[in-house]
Amino acid sequence: MTYDLEGAGVLAKVTAISDDGYSVYFDFRNGNTGYFDDVDQELSVGDVLLITHDKENNRYDFEEAPSSAWPEALWVGIVRLKLQDISVIESGGRLRKVPTVTVPCYENGYTVLAGDAQGVTKVLSERPIKYFDLPEVDDSVIDRFLLSSEDTEDLGFEDFGGLSTVVARARELIEIPLNEGKALLEIGARPIKGVLFTGGPGTGKTLLARIIAAQSKAIFFEISGPEVFSKWYGQSEELIRMLFEAAAKEEKAIIFFDEIDSVAAQRGDESHEASKRVVAQLLTLMDGFKPDTNVVVIAATNRPQDLDAALRRPGRFDWEIEFPYPDECDRKDILVKTARRLKTKGPLPYDIIAAHSDGWSAAELTQIWSEAALLAVSDNRRQIYEEDFVGGFERVSRYREQARASRPNGGDR
Ligand SMILES: Nc1ncnc2c1ncn2[C@@H]1O[C@H](COP(=O)(O)OP(=O)(O)OP(=O)(O)O)[C@@H](O)[C@H]1O
Ligand SMILES: [Mg+2]
C-alpha cells in the first residue's frame, strides 16, 4: 500500500498484526486507518511509530516513538462503581469499564477525567456534575407537586359520569386504607400501597384520582412521567425520594404518578439508564413504606403492557383498575354530569347523542360542550341550545373521523 506522507512524517499506532506477520495495521493520529505489508521490522501491537516516506527510494521508515507521543483520548464521567480491579464510570449516557488505579484517589459519585486504558487520571469534582444548571430540589420544590385544596375544592363524585363499578372499586382500594389503615393492620391484612389505573386516553383516570383525593381530604401530590424526564432530568430519583418522604409525614397522603409508562418502561437493555434508576428508586421507596405509613400511590397509564413487571409484584402496584370506554348508559351519564356546570336551555337530546357516540372516550364527549359553547356564543346566545349541542356533536364526530383516517392502523384504538 502507498501513502502520501508529506513533510516530516506521521504518527501511527500498531493496532493489529496478521497471523503470518506479513501485514501490520495502524491507526493514524488523524483518525485514519491503514496497513503496510512486508514490514522488515519487529513490531508489536500498541507500538507508537513515526512513519516517514523516503520518496526517492520509495521506502517507508518506521521509527519508534515514545508512547506518550500518542496520548490516550480522555473523557469525563461519573464513577458509579469502584472495585479492586475495575471501575465503572458513566459517561455520555453509557457505562464504561476502566482499570482501577490507586492515584488519584476517588470514590463513587466523583466526577473524573479518565481514559479507557489508563483509568481515572484526575478528579474534577467530589460530586456528580450535572449536564446543565439544575434547580435545587428542596422543600419548596416539593410544594409545586402539591395539588392545593383550591384546585380540587369543588370536585366531587357528582362530576364523574358512568363507570360506577370502577368508581366503587377505586374508592374501596384507596379510601379504606387511608381512612381505616389501623383496622386493616389489626386484621393483619397486607397493606395496599399501590393502585394502578389503566385505560385508554381520556377515560377519566386523572379526573377520578383528583376527585378521590379531594373527597378523602388527603394531601395529594401529582407528578407526571414526562415531567420527571424533561424538567427534572438528572434529579428524578432525588425528587421522587423527597416526594415520598414528604407524603409519609402526612396524616394521609396520595401520590399520583400520571403517565408512569414514560418512566417505568420495561427495564430492558434498550431502555434508558435514567429510566432504570427511577424505577429502581420507586421500587425501593415502595418497599420501604412502614406498615403504618398512610400513603397510597396511584399510578396511571394507558400503556400497561409497557410497564416493568417488577412494579406489579405484591406490595407494589398489585391492584389494578381498568377504565373501559363508556357504554351507552355511561355516555349519557357523562354528558348529563358535565352539563351540570354549564348554562343550557330546554331539554337536550342526551339519549340520542349517547346512542350515536359508540367508542367515544369521556374526554371526547366533554369536547362536545366546548364546541357547543362556541356555536352558541357565535350565534349570540348565552346558553347552550339543542342545536348547539347537536352541532357540537357533529363537529367532534368530524374531528374524530379525521384523526382516525390519519392514524396508520386505520383508527383502531
Ligand atoms: N367519567 C367522566 N365523567 C366526566 N368527565 C370525564 C370523565 N372522564 C373524563 N372526563 C373528562 O375528560 C377529561 C380528560 O380525562 P382524564 O384526564 O381524566 O383522562 P385520562 O384517563 O387521565 O387520560 P390520559 O390517559 O390521556 O391521561 C377530564 O378533564 C374530564 O373533563
Ligand atoms: Mg391522565
What is the structure's pLDDT at 264? 64
- For 215-286, where are the E strands, in sequence order? 219-224, 253-258
Number of C-beta neighbours around residue 357 at 10 A: 22
Highest mean pLDDT pick, 77-86, 127-136, 139-148, 150-159: 77-86
Residue 227 has pLDDT above 80, yes or no: no
Give the pLDDT band (50/70/90) at residue 412. Answer: low
What is the structure's pLDDT at 128? 83
Distance 366 CA to ligand 1 centre (A): 9
Average pLDDT (82-94) is 88
Q: Would you state the cell numbers that stand for residue 344, as one nine-digit string?
A: 343550557
Distance 364 CA to ligand 2 centre (A): 14
Tell me if 75 sits within 8 A of 92, measured CB to CB.
yes
What is the structure's pLDDT at 269? 47
What is the structure's pLDDT at 270? 47
What is the structure's pLDDT at 307? 79
- pLDDT (tens digit, 9 = 90+) per residue, 24-39? 898 887 777 888 888 8
Residue 246 has pLDDT above 60, yes or no: yes
Residue 271 has pLDDT above 60, yes or no: no
Average pLDDT (67-79) is 84
Task: Provide the β-strand partners of residue 34.
Answer: 26
Closest CA to 75 of 116, 107, 110, 106: 116
Q: Which residues contact 35 (CB under 8 A, 6 or more apart)?
A: 1, 23, 24, 25, 26
What is the structure's pLDDT at 168? 94
What is the structure's pLDDT at 15? 86
Residue 285 has pLDDT above 70, yes or no: yes
Average pLDDT (93-107) is 89
Number of C-beta neighbours around residue 248 at 10 A: 17
Three-state DSSP state, 408: coil
Tell me if 321 sits within 8 A of 197, measured CB to CB.
yes
Which of the residue ranges 38-42, 94-98, 245-249, 383-387 would you say has the lowest mean pLDDT?
38-42
CA distance 267 to 306: 10
Ligand 1 neighbours by CB, cut-off 6 Å:
160-163, 199, 201-207, 300, 302, 334, 337-338, 362-363, 366
Atom of ligand 1 minimally distant from the CA of 161 = 3
Residue 6 has pLDDT above 60, yes or no: no
Which is more confident, 272 or 220? 220
For ligand 1, pick from 365, 366, 413 the residue to mutate: most ligand atoms within 8 Å of CB: 366
**Ligand nearest 201 Cα, by number?**
1
For ligand 1, pick from 198, 203, 258 the residue to mutate: most ligand atoms within 8 Å of CB: 203
**Angle in degrees, CA 157, 160, 166, rounded to 5:** 90
Distance 34 CA to ligand 2 centre (A): 57
CA distance 227 to 147: 16
Residue 132 has pLDDT above 70, yes or no: no
Average pLDDT (291-305) is 85
Distance 153 CA to ligand 1 centre (A): 18
Kindly list the structural domains of the chain, giving each domain's residue range(s) and its CATH number in brackets, ordered by start: 10-69 (2.40.50), 75-125 (2.30.30.140), 139-323 (3.40.50.300), 328-406 (1.10.8.60)
- pLDDT (tens digit, 9 = 90+) per residue, 386-403? 999 999 999 999 999 988
Give the pLDDT band (50/70/90) at residue 373. Answer: very high
Highest mean pLDDT pick, 102-106, 315-319, 350-354: 350-354
Give the pLDDT band (50/70/90) at residue 234. Answer: low
